[in-house]
């Protein structure tokens, strides 16, 4: 039907499907949804208005919408040990803004990781709206690329932030959540974790859960490692009450304060078809098969890191504890951006990345960020990962030889044919 109604869009969809099948996907924000999730997301729930909350809707006949949202909430609470889950946030950027507006007033202070040390634009950047509303104080990593908790504690006591934020988009170690929550407790701040890149390892019990370490709030986008629709979840601890009534601004009332910030303060109607997809994905994430998939992806990432080290490439932190790999080309005469473009020529999709205190500019940084979840979704395992490292090495070494790059592209294409899209 789409082919007849809009052949241009139909062709673009076919072309992108073909590209995804033929390319090796290593971008650390992309993955493949399951057919069940896609079916739920493409369902008739796209037709339904459902403003407000479960059992408290404004529009009529909400029995089915309430059912799927309640299932999503209960599944998220169980999987991530939360007292409450808001499943209506439209994206990670929107979810972060909802948390900030729920817990702070304009000009209040947030203590967060410096943008140059792997944090993300959605938490603060001079070009964003949020930078004009709140006061951001930045902490950094030390010379060993570890979180400098002495500096973090000093800044917390000096500036008395309302929120202390943990996590960033390209850090390769496991965070010490106890130290974060301890410092937050000392200054009466809310401990808030953005787990967008590693939440699936928390779901699979492979990495610690901040909510088990005295964090009050945790957020994730859902389309990366989790293989879910593009959306966000906000999970929290403490008392859940009626979101139609304004609660006191206390830590105990964080769940309801967040609900009211999501709707009606920051956004309006939730997309019920996407929430249906989220509910299905949460059920998938609670299975032994998902835990095995996550374990395989982490092993693949560590094998890839080890193979790159064997080729004498420098990695930030020299390893990965959480599946994120950052190649460091700061001592080379070529940049991470140049390597990204070379890998594009052989149909390996990656993304450039800054490194701490990068000597190069943000749009031509020294780093390259890669991961293994998407290719693990397609069935890649141990020896296959070694072959991927070989492809990367071949492309970099032959970056100025188009004929050899063409040969590598053929090999990559042949490799990808063995691992079809799910």
DSSP code at position 248: P
CA distance 397 to 404: 10
Closest by CA to 52, choosing from 41, 63, 66, 34, is: 66
Closest by CA to 72, choosing from 238, 200, 228, 254, is: 228
361 Cβ contact partners less than 8 Å away, ≥ 6 residues apart: none
Would the CA dihedral through 308, 311, 315, 320 be positive or negative? Answer: positive
Strand ordering across the sheet containing 351-353: 325-328, 367-370, 351-353
CA distance 272 to 260: 18
Closest by CA to 41, choosing from 49, 33, 30, is: 33
* HSE-CB of 400 using CA atoms within 13 angstroms: 2
As annotated, the active-site residues are: 49, 51, 194, 221, 224, 230
Note whether 390 and 343 are within 8 A (CB).
no
CA distance 130 to 320: 31
* HSE-CB of 58 using CA atoms within 13 angstroms: 9
Return the number of other C-beta atoms located less than 10 Å from residue 145's C-beta.
18
Q: Which DSSP string corresponds to 339-379?
A: HHHHHHHTTEE-EEE--TT-SS-TTS-SEEEE-SHHHHHTT
CA distance 3 to 5: 6
Q: Which alpha helices (H) appear in 91-243, and where do they start and end?
A: 92-103, 149-159, 177-186, 199-203
Q: How many residues does the chain have?
A: 422
Structure tokens at 377: 């979704």
C-alpha 116 chain-centroid distance: 18
CA distance 139 to 59: 46
């Amino acid at each position: 039907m789409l082919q007849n109604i809009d052949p241009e869009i139909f062709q673009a969809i076919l072309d992108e499907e073909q590209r995804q099948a033929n390319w090796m996907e290593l971008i650390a924000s992309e993955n493949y949804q399951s057919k069940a999730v896609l079916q739920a997301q493409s369902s008739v729930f796209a037709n339904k208005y459902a403003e407000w909350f479960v059992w408290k809707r404004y529009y009529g006949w909400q029995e089915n919408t309430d059912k799927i949202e309640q299932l999503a909430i209960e599944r998220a609470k169980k999987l991530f040990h939360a007292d409450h889950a808001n499943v209506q946030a439209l994206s990670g950027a929107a979810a972060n803004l909802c948390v900030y507006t729920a817990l702070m007033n304009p000009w209040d202070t947030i203590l967060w990781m410096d943008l140059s040390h792997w944090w993300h634009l959605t938490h603060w950047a001079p070009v964003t709206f949020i930078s004009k509303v709140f006061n951001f104080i930045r902490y950094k990593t030390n010379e060993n690329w570890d979180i400098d908790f002495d500096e973090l504690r000093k800044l917390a006591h000096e500036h008395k932030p309302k929120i202390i934020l943990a996590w960033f988009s390209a850090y390769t170690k496991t965070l010490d959540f106890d130290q974060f929550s301890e410092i937050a407790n000392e200054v009466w701040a809310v401990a808030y974790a953005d787990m967008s890149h590693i939440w699936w390892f928390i779901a699979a019990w492979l990495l610690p859960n901040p909510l088990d370490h005295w964090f009050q709030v945790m957020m994730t986008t859902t389309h990366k490692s989790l293989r879910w629709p593009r959306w966000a979840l906000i999970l929290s601890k403490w008392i859940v009450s009626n979101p139609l009534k304004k609660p006191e601004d206390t830590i105990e009332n964080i769940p309801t304060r967040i609900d009211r910030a999501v709707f009606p303060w920051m956004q309006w109607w939730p997309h019920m078809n996407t929430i249906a997809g989220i509910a299905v994905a949460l059920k998938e994430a609670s299975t032994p098969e998902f835990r095995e998939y996550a374990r395989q992806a982490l092993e693949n990432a560590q094998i890839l890191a080890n193979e790159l080290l064997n080729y004498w490439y420098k990695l930030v932190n020299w390893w990965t504890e959480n599946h994120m790999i950052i190649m460091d080309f700061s001592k080379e005469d070529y940049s991470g951006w140049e390597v990204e473009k070379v890998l594009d020529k052989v149909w390996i999709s990656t993304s450039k990345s800054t490194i701490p205190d990068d000597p190069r500019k943000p749009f031509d940084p020294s780093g390259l960020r890669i991961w293994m979840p998407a290719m693990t979704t397609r069935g890649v395992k141990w020896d296959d990962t070694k072959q991927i490292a070989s492809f990367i090495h071949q492309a970099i070494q032959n970056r100025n030889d188009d004929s050899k790059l063409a040969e590598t592209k053929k090999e990559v294409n042949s490799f990808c044919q063995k691992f079809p899209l799910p």
